[in-house]
Amino acid sequence: QLENVGFIGLGNMGSHMATNLISAGYKVTLHDINQNALKYFSEKGVPVAETPYQLSESSDVIITMLPSSSHVMEVYTGTNGLLNGTSEVRPWLFIDSSTIDPQTSRRISRDVSSCHLKENEGFTKKPLMLDAPVSGGVPAAQAGTLTFMVGGLEEAYIAAKPLLLAMGKRTIYCGGPGNGSVAKICNNLAMAISMIGVSEALSLGQNLGVKASVLTNVFNSSSARCWSSDSYNPVPGVMQGVPSSRNYEGGFTSKLMAKDLGLATASVAEVGLNCPLTADAHNIYKRLCEDGHESKDFSCVFRYCYDGKDD
Ligand code: NAD
């Protein structure tokens, strides 16, 4: 029932995810507005579709991996979009793995559930929708080791799990529609704030005369230990194989982090919470991008804010 997969968004993440689905034996058809991305696959014999709607006509399930909310809205509800202004659709499952705001995830989920399946497909159910953003980044997309955080009906989650595990190593069910997107933006908010916090503390310690490697050793054996200190340390030379050891190249770009903090900021406003660190972190990453560091890994906040001297 999940044999024919339509995949939309063949960028840094999606191209690897689609490749892993093909390797796992799914019949995958692709769509992207970037003709070069499509050509790469069509030259290898992978079928492509001209529009999302055309793709939906031959797919049991659709996966989208697009830059932001407006792109996802366009692909679902635009002209020749997946839902194409009709009340009938062919795919019975829609999975959006893009990082977008929970409000948009919930809106699309409502749009999908107001459709019904085209007759004579043998299904009596309504189509199902999951928001399933990922953590892990490009290396994990390539290695097939992503973690999916999933919102939507539990029956859809159970049906989608084998498909998700062809692209990742872990799935976490977060509850109803939009909850996967909530989990994703909250995870990245905590990650941004902890990265800034570790950078600030390491910089202060260095300026007081203790090497960052010694401070890191202390943090990682004490209560300051976190992913930013023990797996993704922002100070050049403290850890090998992380972006800070290669001039902050590769990894998770500051541009994407600024985008995700923008989503968190909008959600904070939506629920009327007072979250001062969300606003501070968002402003720091916005400035950092405006000053030309948008393509550097987000751990470059150490160098940007604290004039980071190396260890
Ligand atoms: P990307 O910009 O590399 O790829 C997006 C792809 O979508 C491009 O190929 C683009 O041509 C295509 N596209 C855009 N609009 C389209 C449309 N209307 N119709 C069809 N195709 C369209 O982005 P990415 O890095 O692959 O990220 C995708 C999503 O995953 C984003 O939401 C991002 O926040 C999230 N994410 C990225 C990372 C990462 O490290 N790159 C990690 C976790 C999550």
Sketch out the chain's domains with CATH numbers.
4-176 (3.40.50.720), 183-306 (1.10.1040.10)
pLDDT tens by residue, 56-108: 999 999 999 999 999 999 999 999 999 987 788 899 999 999 999 999 999 99
Cα of 297 from ligand 1 centre, angstroms: 17
* 157: pLDDT strictly greater than 60: yes
Determine if ligand 1 sits within 6 Å of the CB of residue 74.
yes
Q: Which residue has the tokens 């030309």?
A: 292
CA–CA separation, 35 vs 277, rounded Å? 41
Query: What does residue 50 show for φ and ψ, rounded to 5 degrees?
Result: -80, -30
Given the residues 44, 118, 126, 184, select the one marked as catalytic. 184
pLDDT of residue 116: 87
CB–CB of 151/131 below 8 Å? yes
Question: Which alpha helices (H) appear in 11-153, and where do they start and end?
Answer: 14-23, 35-42, 52-57, 69-77, 102-113, 137-143
Q: For the purposes of burial, counting CB atoms within 10 Å of the CB of 291, is it exposed (0-12), middle (13-18) or buried (19 or more)? A: exposed
Percent of the chain at pLDDT > 70 equals 97
Condensed to tens digits (0 to 9), the pLDDT of residues 207-216 reads 999 999 999 9
Average pLDDT, rounded, for the chain: 95
φ/ψ of 96, rounded to 5, equals -105, 115
Calculate mean pLDDT across residues 196-208: 97
Q: Which residues fall within 8 angstroms of residue 250, CB to CB, at 6 or more apart?
A: 138, 243, 297
For residue 289, give the DSSP letter: I
Percent of the chain with pLDDT over 90: 89
Average pLDDT over residues 192-202: 98
In 3D, which of 223, 218, 242 has the Cα closest to residue 231?
242
Ligand 1 atom 30: the closest Cα is on which residue? 98
Is a pLDDT exceeding 90 seen at residue 119?
no
Tell me the two tokens of residue 202.
Answer: 């390491």
The residue whose CA has the least distance to atom 1 of ligand 1 is 11
Whether the pLDDT of residue 122 is over 80: the answer is no
Contact 119, 101 (CB under 8 A): no
Gyration radius of the chain's alpha carbons:
21
Residue 82 carries which side chain, given as an amino acid letter?
A: L
Q: Which residues is 202 bridged to in the sheet?
A: none
Which DSSP category does 171 fall into?
E
ipTM tops 0.95: yes
Q: pLDDT per residue over 274-300, tens digit each?
A: 999 999 999 999 999 999 999 999 999
**Confidence tier at 257 by pLDDT (50, 70, 90):** very high
- Ligand 1 atom closest to the CA of 256, numbered from 1: 34
Lowest pLDDT segment from 76-85, 113-122, 213-222, 237-246: 113-122
Give residue 124's pLDDT: 60
Q: What is the pLDDT of residues 41-51, one digit of tens each?
A: 999 999 999 99
Distance, CA of 190 to CA of 21 (rounded, Å): 31
Confidence of residue 15 (pLDDT cuts 50, 70, 90): very high
Task: Tell whether the model's pLDDT for residue 232 goes beyond 70.
Answer: yes
Indicate if ligand 1 lies below 6 Å from the C-beta of 256: yes
Q: How many CB atoms lie within 10 A of CB 27?
A: 16
Band of residue 52 on the pLDDT scale cut at 50, 70, 90: very high
Cα 68 to ligand 1 centre (Å): 7
What the block records as the tokens of 230 is: 């023990």
Does residue 23 surpass a pLDDT of 80? yes
**Mutation pick for ligand 1 pocket among 7, 8, 13 (CB with most ligand atoms within 8 Å):** 13
How far is Cα 197 from Cα 262, in angstroms, rounded to an integer? 19
184 a catalytic residue: yes
Residue 25 has pLDDT above 90, yes or no: yes
Whether the CB-CB separation of 89 and 95 falls below 8 Å is answered with: no
Give me the helix-helix angle, 179-207 and 276-288, nearest 10°: 70
